[in-house]
Chain A
C-alpha cells in the first residue's frame, strides 16, 4: 500500500512539475508587463521604472500568495478575511492577497511538493522556523532579502528590531522573525487547582521537584484512578521540565555547557549526569504509578486529560506570563522551578519566520505586504482575531473574546507587530489588559539569555548524521523520557547507538561553528 502511495506521490510531483513549468513561463509574460527583478533577490534593475520605496500603481495588481500555518484545515471564513485584507492591500501596495492555509503537521512536505512543482508561493511562514532555515537556504528554497528589506521594509526592520539577527544565516538575512510580546516561554508543570483545593495543597508552597513529588504522593494515595502526571501532548516527554532549559544549539542531542572561564563547550546531552539523574527521577515516578503505563502509546494528550479531570498534572514546555497553554474551562496553575525559567535561545525567536521562496517572481511585493502588515494594526488584528462583531467582541476590560465556533480561528499571532495586537481574553484572564502587559513585562525580565543567542547551526555537512541521530532519538527518547524503561540499562545503549550514528561529528561541528561565531561577535 505504502509503496503505491509513494509512487503516486512521485507521479504527482512529476506531472505537476511539467505542468507548472509551462504555465509559469507563459503567465509571466502576461501578467507582469514590467519585470521587476529576478528571484535572486535584486529588485532594482535598469528597466525598473519605480524608484526606491515608491510603489508602482500603474501596473496590473500583482497577486501575492501567502502560505500560513493552521492546525488541520483553513477556517471557513478565510475568503472573507482575504477580501477584507485586499480592500486595504490594493489601496496601499497595489496588490491582491491570496491566502493559503498549510497544515502545520505536514508543512515541510507541503512546501517541498509545492516548490518542486514550481507552484506559486510568494510569502511563506516557516514554523518552527529554526527547523527550516538552514535546510531551506541550502536547498535554494528561499532567497536572501537584505536589499529588499532596505528598500521596502522600513517598518519590518523597526518591528523586528533585535529579533532580526536570528533570521540571518551565513551573514545574510533570509527570513523575518515574527516578534511576540512574550520573549520566550519556560518549562514547568500544570497542576489542577480543584484537586489541590480538595487536599488542601498550597500551590505556592511547591518550590522544588521534591515538594512536587510529595504532592504527587498525596494525590496518588487518595485518587488511585487519576493519572498523576502526563506529558502535555502525545509523543511528548515528561523529562523536559525535570531537566529544565539549556541550549541545544539546534540539535536534539547536544547540550551547551558554560565553563568556569566563560568559554562554551558542547557535550552530548544523554551522557551528562543531569540527564541520567532526571531520567531516574521520571523512572521512579513511573514505577510508583504516577505516570500511566500506556504513556508512550496513548493517543490522548495530557492537556485533554487535564481538561477531562482524569489527570492531575501535565509536564509543559510553554509556560508564559498567563500560565501556559491551558485549555478553556480548566482550572490549572503552573509550577515553575529555577531550572525551568525561560531561557532565550536562537530557536525560540525563530519560532515564526516569514520567508520569500525562490518560486516568487516579484519578491519586492511580498516584502511590501509584510511591511504593510507591520505598519497597520488594523490589518494585523484582522488577520489574528478576525472581524469584530462577527468573530469576536471586546469585553469591558479591553480584551478580545472570541465567539464560540467563530468562522476564523488563528492559533498564533503570525504577522504584524505583536505589541499592536489586541490582547486575548485567554491571556488577560480576570485582570485588565494593562495588568496583563505588566505581568508580561515582569515575566520577560525573568528570561535569561543564552550566551549563544543568535547562533544558527549550519547543518549542510552533518545532514546524514543528524538524520541518523534523530532516528535513534525516536527510538529511545520517549521511552526514557517518560520512565517506561530502565535508564541505567537503556541510556548507555542510547549513547552507544548515538555514537554509532555519528553524533561526535555533530558535536565537533557545533563546537567549531560556535567558536567561529563567538570570534565573529567580539
Chain B
C-alpha cells in the first residue's frame, strides 16, 4: 500500500516541475503582496520606510466611506459583471448555434474570423472608435443618424444615463467572438448522427437545437459561467477607464473598483489609502467568490470549485 502511494507520488514529479514556473509566478504575484496589506492599516510615515508607520486601524478606510463611493463602485462592478455574464452567454450561445447552422464552410470561417477581430483590439483604439461615433462635434451619431431622424444632438460624454447600454454594447461586441469560439469548439464535437436520427424522426430545427445542441453545450456553459463569477469583483480597466475617456460626469456609472483604485493612487499619491481600496476589493471579492461557489455546489456539486 505504502509503496504504491510513493510510486504515484513519483509519477507526479514531472507534472510538478512543469507547474513550477506558474507556481513561482503565483507566489510572487498573488501571495507575496499579502504582506503589503498591512499598509492599509498603518499611518503613512516615510522616515523609516512605509512599513514602520503606526497602526491606525480602519482610519485609512474612512475616505472610501465618507462619500457613497464604496457603495457606488461595488454596485457598478457587480451589476455590470452580472449583466455581462447573462447577456454575453445568451448572445454567445445564440450566435454559436447560428454559425453552426451555416453549411458553407468557407463562409462560416470568414464570419467567425470577422467576429473575432474586435477581441484583439486594444481598448485605447476601441475608445477612439467609440469616440468617432459619439463625438460631440464630428461624431457619426450626432451628425448623421440623429440629423436624419431630426433629433437634437446628444452630448454623449456628459450624459450618464446612456452609458450602461454603451458599455454593455461595447463589451459584448468586443467579447462575443471569443465566447462564440469557445462554444463552437464544443459544437463541433457533436456527432452529425444525432441530428440525422432526429431528422428521421421528424424533429423540427427548433427541437433539434433544444434537445440535442443545448444539452451538449451545458458543461461548457457552466464552466464559462463559473469562471466569470470567480472574476466578479474584477473589471476590465480599459473598458471602464478608456471608453468613457475618463469623463468626470460619467463617474457615477463608470467607476468600478479597479478604476477607483487607479484614480485614488494617481491623485492622492497616498499609498496607505490606495492600499485600503485594494484591501476592500479583495475582502468583498473573497466573500463573493465563496458565495458563488456555495450556490454552484448546491445546484451541481461536480462543477463547484472547492
Contact = CB atoms under 8 A, between A and B. Distances in A.
Given A116-B271, A474-B251, A297 B245 contact: yes
A294 B29 CA distance: 40
B137 A14 contact: no
Nearest to B127: A297
Contacts of B33: 7, 10-11, 14
Interface in B32-50: 32-33, 35-36, 39, 44-47, 49-50
Interface stretch (B64-72, B91-99, B201-209, B290-298): B64-72
Q: Describe A's contact surface by its main secondary structure.
A: helix
B268 A467 contact: yes
Contact of A7 (B29, B69, B247, B266): B29
Contacts of B116: none
A475 B249 contact: yes
B50 A13 contact: yes
A25 interface: no
Contacts of B273: 467
B46 A116 contact: yes
A464 interface: yes
B157 A17 contact: no
A139 B45 contact: yes
Contact of B66 (A39, A294, A468): A468
Contact of A464 (B32, B62, B157): B62
B261 interface: yes
Interface in B145-163: 153, 155, 157-158
B32 A476 contact: no
A294 B271 contact: no
Contacts of B49: 17, 20-21, 116-118
Nearest to B262: A2
Contacts of B258: 1-3
B51 interface: yes
Given A292-B136, A294-B137, A112 B32 contact: no
A447 interface: no
Given A117-B49, A293-B153, A477-B248, A463 B158 contact: no
A296 B67 contact: no
A6 B265 contact: yes
Interface in A1-37: 1-4, 6-8, 10-11, 13-14, 17, 20-21
Interface in A77-123: 108-109, 111-112, 115-118
A21 B153 CA distance: 60
Nearest to B285: A3
B135 A294 contact: yes
Contacts of A500: 67-68
B230 interface: no
Given A3-B258, A464-B62, A501-B67, A112 B269 contact: yes
Contacts of B274: 6
Contacts of B136: 292-294
Q: Describe B's contact surface by its main secondary structure.
A: helix
A14 B248 contact: no
A211 B245 CA distance: 35
Interface string A354-371: 000111000000000000
Contacts of A358: 46-47
Interface string B248-270: 11011000001101111111111
Which of B32, B35, B63 has the most C-beta atoms of chain A within 10 angstroms of its own C-beta? B63
A422 interface: no
Interface string B229-244: 0000010111000000
Interface stretch (A68-76, A341-349, A478-486): A478-486
A471 interface: yes
A502 interface: yes
A464 B249 contact: no
B131 interface: yes
A6 B63 contact: no
Contacts of A56: none
Interface residues of B, number: 58
Contacts of B51: 17
A48 interface: no
B159 to A, nearest CB: 9
Contacts of B62: 464
A470 interface: yes
A474 to B, nearest CB: 5
Contacts of A247: none
Which of B142, B157, B263 has the most C-beta atoms of chain A within 10 angstroms of its own C-beta? B157
Contacts of B252: 475
Contact of B251 (A13, A464, A467, A475): A475
Contacts of B245: 297
B134 to A, nearest CB: 9
Contacts of B118: none
Contact of B32 (A14, A115, A118, A357): A14
A8 B247 contact: no
B63 A467 contact: yes
A212 interface: no
Contacts of A8: 29
A140 interface: yes
Contact of B155 (A135, A293, A467): A293
Given A294-B136, A502-B66, A11 B29 contact: yes
B30 interface: yes
Interface string B64-91: 0011110000000000000000000000
A197 to B, nearest CB: 27
B35 A485 contact: no
Contacts of B267: 467, 470-471, 474
Given A2-B258, A3-B234, A21-B49, A485 B249 contact: yes
A465 interface: yes
A489 B287 CA distance: 39
B23 interface: no
Which of A108, A135, A296, A476 has the most C-beta atoms of chain B within 10 angstroms of its own C-beta? A296
Interface in B111-146: 131, 135-137, 142
B248 A478 contact: yes
B28 interface: yes
A10 B153 CA distance: 46
A401 interface: no
A141 B46 contact: yes
Closest 10 CB pairs of A and B: A293-B136, A108-B269, A140-B47, A116-B50, A115-B46, A10-B36, A2-B258, A2-B237, A297-B245, A479-B249
Given A297-B131, A476-B249, 18 more contacts: A3-B261, A10-B33, A10-B39, A11-B28, A13-B36, A13-B50, A14-B33, A116-B46, A140-B45, A292-B136, A293-B135, A297-B135, A358-B47, A463-B63, A471-B67, A475-B251, A479-B248, A484-B249
23 contacts: A2-B237, A2-B262, A4-B29, A11-B28, A11-B36, A13-B36, A13-B50, A109-B269, A116-B46, A117-B49, A136-B46, A139-B45, A140-B45, A141-B47, A293-B136, A296-B249, A297-B131, A297-B135, A465-B66, A471-B263, A476-B248, A477-B248, A501-B66
